[in-house]
Amino acid sequence: MEDTTTQEAAAAAAERPSSALALRSLADYTVGAIPTLFYVPDFISNSEQSQLLHHIYQAPAPKWKSLKNRRLQNWGGVVHEKGLLPQALPSWLTRITDRICQWTGLFPSAINHVLINEYHPNQGIMPHQDGPAYYPVVAIISLASPVVIDFTPHQRLKEQEHTDPQNLQIDELTGPAKMESNGSGSHERGATNESDPACSSLMLMPCSLLIFKDQAYTDYLHGIQDNELHNLDKVKNLLRCPELKHLSSDSIQGSMDKQRGTFRRTATRVSLTCRVREVLSKLFGEQCVHKRK
């Protein structure tokens, strides 16, 4: 489905080399103590951000699915318990997902699934692990508002699975865990990073790319607190967010309280969670399973 104007495509193409050229290799973007966590500021340009937001908010109202604490759009096909019934991603998404694929070199095939989440300043996503139907590499593009994402080790969840098997459920969208369906993964209630030195938080600025994989994917829960005020105590990448110093400029919204070490969200954030999802080769038939590295 081609819905991009030639002008827009030309503008994006003209811009791509400059942002791509400015990038170093992925290994240069590790952050914090978890080795498989990467933060890439300015992965997309401001005008690419505007184009993405334009397309996202042009989608027909039924494309949005409202959840208790956010709403989302699902692109790439319908998720079924046995995999994905695929539907090609629109070109305004593949322009970004193909670049992520190429530059990272981490995905076994083209990114085929994008979940778009929208969060008001008091909304978030509970600590969760993305389900087993995804290849264990996640790429998240952030738009419109900064937010803090927390990574918390989930040994507790693993122990629970071992000791309490009757608690396990297989969710339509996820894997075995105590969970609440979020359209994306499994949720653990009440996980907290207050006292755990192993946890890591990152500030996700608009236009940035977050990549997490392997250990960060399998041994950590990730989540965003559902309040306007975010604590910066455990944020590992503040030095890589120089724009936070200029919050009065109209491009980035929010406010910092340096004394208290907090950031207040004031704008709606949108994110693109880009993944490779197992695809059903035949309806309810044979499944194509990715080899995990």
Ligand X SMILES: O=C(O)CCC(=O)C(=O)O
Nearer to ligand X, 173 or 244 (CB): 173
273 binds ligand X (CB under 6 A): yes
- 169-198 binders of Fe ion (CB under 5 A): 184-185
For residue 133, the partner it binds in Fe ion, ligand X, none, with Cβ less than 5 to 8 A by kind, is none
| Total length of the chain | 293
Phi-psi region of 275 (alpha: psi -120 to 50; beta: other; left: phi over 0): beta
**39 vs 92, beta carbon nearer ligand X:** 39
Task: Give which of 175, 149, 184 is closest to 73, Cα–Cα.
Answer: 184
Q: Which is nearer to Fe ion, 184 or 200 (CB)?
A: 184
Q: How far apart are the first and last CA of the chain?
A: 33
- Binding partner of 271, given ligand X, Fe ion, none, CB within 5-8 angstroms per partner class: ligand X
In contact, 116 and 73? CB cutoff 8 Å = yes
Query: Restricting to residues 157-186, which ones interact with ligand X according to CB under 6 A?
Result: 184-185
Task: Give me the phi and psi of 148, to 5 degrees please.
Answer: -100, 130
Residue 234 dihedral angles phi and psi, to the nearest 5°: -100, 10
Residue 117 is a binding residue for ligand X (CB under 6 A): yes
Q: How are beta strands 262-264 and 269-275 bridged, if at all?
A: unpaired
**Under the criterion CB under 6 A, does residue 130 sit at the interface with ligand X?**
yes
Count residues binding ligand X (CB under 6 A).
11
Shortest reach from residue 132's CB to ligand X, in Å: 13
Which of 57/248 has CB closer to ligand X?
57
Q: Is 115 in the site for ligand X (CB under 6 A)?
A: yes
Residue in 271, 274, 278, 280 binding ligand X, rule: CB under 6 A:
271
* Closest by CA position to 153, among listed 193, 187, 184: 193
For residue 205, with 0-12 CB atoms within 10 Å meaning exposed, 13-18 middle and 19 or more buried, which class applies? Answer: buried
- State yes or no: residue 149 binds ligand X (CB under 6 A): yes
**Residue with structure tokens 């389900």?**
131
48, 118, 130, 150: which one contacts Fe ion (CB under 5 A)? 130
Distance from C-alpha of 133 to C-alpha of 82, rounded to nearest angstrom: 8
Query: Minimum Å distance from CB 200 to ligand X?
Result: 14
Q: Are 224 and 150 in contact (CB under 8 A)?
A: yes
- Residues lying near ligand X in the complex (CB under 6 A) are found at 115, 117, 125, 130, 140, 149, 184-185, 222, 271, 273
Residues near Fe ion (CB under 5 A): 130, 184-185
